[in-house]
Structure 1
Amino acid sequence: MGFTPAVQLSFLKKKEQKEMLDAMEFAQCTPSLSQALRIKKLSSDGNLTVRDMEDILSEIKQKEIDRVVFKTEQLHRFFPVSYTAEQMRREILEMLKLNMNKYWDA
């Protein structure tokens, strides 16, 4: 992690810092400065959740070239018709997290 994002995250509460480590492990990345600043702001406003951390860290960064992209038509057969793309994304990430915890921690 870069020094400047680390400084911003040092302002988080101890519990939030531990949760941030878990979120970084889940997302397999470290935050950019802009992500760290947004996380710090949510924390200072008293609105930071683990899901926020995971969502922010899971965002595609400008400099990342490799991406995995699915069309919603490809995914709709696995989800209720009423699900939005965002709901599907969240469910997929949650399922991957559960799968990771089940098989990687064994």
Structure 2
Amino acid sequence: MTVYKLCFYVPEDHVEAVKTAVFEAGAGRIGHYDCCSFQLRGQGQFRPLEGSNPHLGEHGEIEIVDEFRVEMICTDDHLKAALSALRLAHPYEEPAIDLWRLEDLPG
């Protein structure tokens, strides 16, 4: 089974709702535990361009937002559902998502 680390950035006021949606889709399971994640507070920035439909900010203006970086494990059999749930629950039109394929630990 292939395992991935899923990482996304979400505004502070939506972090729990997005995590819950992704957990319910099957991400965040490690052994006999579920709802496993790590989160770190920080700031994100973006500038909405013409043609965008921003959740926050104005076209042409840089917006700085208090966000969380959230990381969790996801197996390949739940990956499509987890990404879909993330996108549906996330308030941004274009959420920032990172995905890394993980290797098995030796020993």
* Common fold by TM > 0.5: no
More RCO (CA 8 Å, sep 6+)? 2
More strand by share: 2
- Normalised by the length of structure 1, the TM-score is 0.28
More helix by share: 1
- Normalised by the length of structure 2, the TM-score is 0.28
